[in-house]
Amino acid sequence: MTGRTIQRIRMAAKPKITQEDMVGRLARAGVETNQSQIAKMESGQRPILDYELAAIAKALKVPVQALFE
């Protein structure tokens, strides 16, 4: 599941990237969201749109395909 992979990559970062950090990083990329929406994406309760996926990969400094592993 892509959401769980995002969470795994986020938590493995040194230092860890919080969901609030992700909100800020995504905002700088022009994607407006909030911590609740990040949590729903990671748990699979909310779909991740294509433009969000690209911004999340950039925020985590990984290629988009890494989010599907």
Surface-to-core class of residue 62, CB atoms within 10 Å of its CB (0-12 exposed, 13-18 middle, 19+ buried)? middle
pLDDT tops 90 at residue 7:
yes
What pLDDT score does 44 carry? 96
Average pLDDT of the chain, as a whole number: 96
In contact, 22 and 56? CB cutoff 8 Å: yes
pLDDT confidence band for 67 (50 / 70 / 90): very high
- Measured between alpha carbons, how far is residue 41 from residues 23, 45 in Å? 12, 6
pLDDT digits over 25-49, tens only?
Answer: 999 999 999 999 999 999 999 999 9
